[in-house]
């Protein structure tokens, strides 16, 4: 129980700290190519500008940070550059046919290709209107995202509903996945809902019913002490 007491104050501190985070919308997309993320990701600055604006409409800032503030764009970028985005975790043999919804994803494109084709088509669409998605008023951004979600607009071979589905899937992943994958910065999404993360032992707590559990969440990178003998010198 002392564990919970201690971490409660830690959490309060973190929450208070969040209120001072400035809302920096466009900076990430235009970020320099020498950040570690840019070196390893696949998206160019135009693509990032779209993603940044889009994920922040999907999960906007309120008293808790938005998706991009928790590095969801960086998360998606890294995922698309890795084995999943490359299609290495999927069955990719043809022939490719359009199936029924119950047959699931049937396009020949990898997840990364879906993102790149779709964002390019969206960029062209708004360029033709003399603007860009990230420059639209948020109400118009929301309306456009809803159109992508519910209609099957052709985005250079990708139905927009398919693209939206992948965008939403990866936004949620980046928001809630362990921070080792680049999103969920400082485990803030876990704090927001009260998920303890990779915490390992509830043997003594599980039958203490209806007790609010508010220990600070633990990420995989926080658990390295499990692989050492003794607790080491220094304070926790």
Partner 1 sequence: MPQKLKEVDVVIVGVGFAGAILGKELAAAGLRVVGLERGSLRLTVPDFQAPQIHDELKYSVRKALMQDVRKEAMTFRNSENQMALPIRNWEAFLPGTGLGGSGAHWNGQLWRYHATEFVYKSHLEARYGKNFIDPDLRIQDWGVRYEELEPHYDRFERLTGAGGKAGNLKGKIQPGGNPLESPREHEYPNPPMKEQFSGALFRKAATEMGYHPFIQPSANSSAPYTNPEGLTLNPCVYCGFCERFGCEQFAKASPQSVILPVLQKYSNFELRAGAQVLRVNLDSTRSKATGVTYMDANGHEFEQPAALVLVTAFALNNIRLLLLSGIGKPYDPRTEQGVVGRNYAYQTVSAVPLFFDEDTHLNSFMGAGASGTVIDDFNVDNFDHSKLGFIGGSFIVSGSSGARPIEFHPTPPGTPPWGAKWKEAVRKHYNHTAMLIQPATSSSARQNYADLDPTYRDAWGLPLLRITYDFTDNDLRMNRYITDRAAEIGRAMGARTVVNAPSRRPFTTTVYQTTHNTGGTVMGADRRTSVVNRYCQSWDVPNVFVVGASNYPQNSSYNPTGTLGALIYWTADALKKQYLKKPGPLA
Task: Give residues in contact with partner 1 (CB under 8 A).
Answer: 57-60, 62, 64, 84, 88-93, 95, 97, 99-106, 142, 145, 149, 168, 172-173, 176-178, 180-181, 189-190, 192-203, 205-207, 209-213, 218-220, 222-224, 226
* Residue position matching structure tokens 């808790």: 64
Residue 58 beta carbon to partner 1: minimum distance, rounded to whole angstroms: 5
38, two tokens: 């840019």
Residue 96 beta carbon to partner 1: minimum distance, rounded to whole angstroms: 9
Nearer to partner 1, 157 or 196 (CB): 196
Residue 32 beta carbon to partner 1: minimum distance, rounded to whole angstroms: 28
45, two tokens: 């600055």
Nearer to partner 1, 5 or 127 (CB): 5
Nearer to partner 1, 34 or 93 (CB): 93
Q: How far apart are CA 192 and CA 98, in angstroms?
A: 40
Residue 141 beta carbon to partner 1: minimum distance, rounded to whole angstroms: 10
Q: How far apart are CA 40 and CA 78, in angstroms?
A: 7
DSSP designation for 218: B
Nearer to partner 1, 24 or 220 (CB): 220
Q: How many CB atoms lie within 10 A of CB 64?
A: 16
Look at residues 210, 211, 180 and name the one whose alpha carbon lies nearest to residue 198.
180
Nearer to partner 1, 130 or 230 (CB): 230
Nearer to partner 1, 74 or 178 (CB): 178
Answer whether 196's CB lies under 8 Å from 8's CB: no
Residue 202 beta carbon to partner 1: minimum distance, rounded to whole angstroms: 4
Look at residues 88, 86, 80, 66 and name the one whose alpha carbon lies nearest to residue 37.
80
Answer whether 152's CB lies under 8 Å from 68's CB: no
Residue 200 beta carbon to partner 1: minimum distance, rounded to whole angstroms: 5
* Residue position matching structure tokens 């779709």: 118
Q: How far apart are CA 196 and CA 203, in angstroms?
A: 14
**What's the maximum distance between 2 C-alpha atoms anywhere in the chain?**
64
């Amino acid at each position: 129980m002392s564990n919970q007491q201690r971490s409660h104050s830690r959490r309060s501190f973190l929450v208070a700290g969040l209120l001072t985070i400035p809302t920096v919308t466009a900076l990430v997309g235009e970020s320099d190519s020498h950040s570690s993320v840019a070196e390893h990701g696949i998206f160019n600055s135009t693509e990032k500008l779209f993603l940044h604006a889009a994920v922040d409409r999907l999960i906007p800032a309120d008293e808790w940070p938005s998706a991009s503030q928790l590095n969801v764009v960086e998360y998606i970028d890294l995922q698309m550059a890795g084995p999943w985005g490359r299609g290495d975790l999927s069955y990719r043999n043809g022939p490719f046919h359009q199936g029924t919804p119950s047959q699931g994803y049937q396009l020949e494109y990898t997840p990364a290709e879906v993102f790149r084709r779709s964002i390019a088509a969206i960029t062209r669409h708004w360029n033709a209107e003399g603007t860009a998605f990230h420059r639209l008023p948020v109400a118009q951004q929301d309306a456009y995202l809803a159109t992508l979600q519910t209609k099957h607009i052709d985005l250079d071979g990708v139905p927009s509903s398919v693209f939206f589905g992948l965008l939403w899937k990866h936004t949620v992943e980046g928001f809630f996945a362990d921070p080792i994958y680049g999103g969920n910065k400082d485990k803030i999404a876990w704090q927001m809902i009260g998920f303890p993360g990779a915490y390992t032992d509830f043997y003594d707590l599980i039958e203490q019913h209806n007790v609010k559990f508010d220990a600070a969440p633990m990420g995989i990178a926080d658990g390295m002490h499990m692989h050492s003998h003794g607790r080491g010198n220094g304070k926790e």
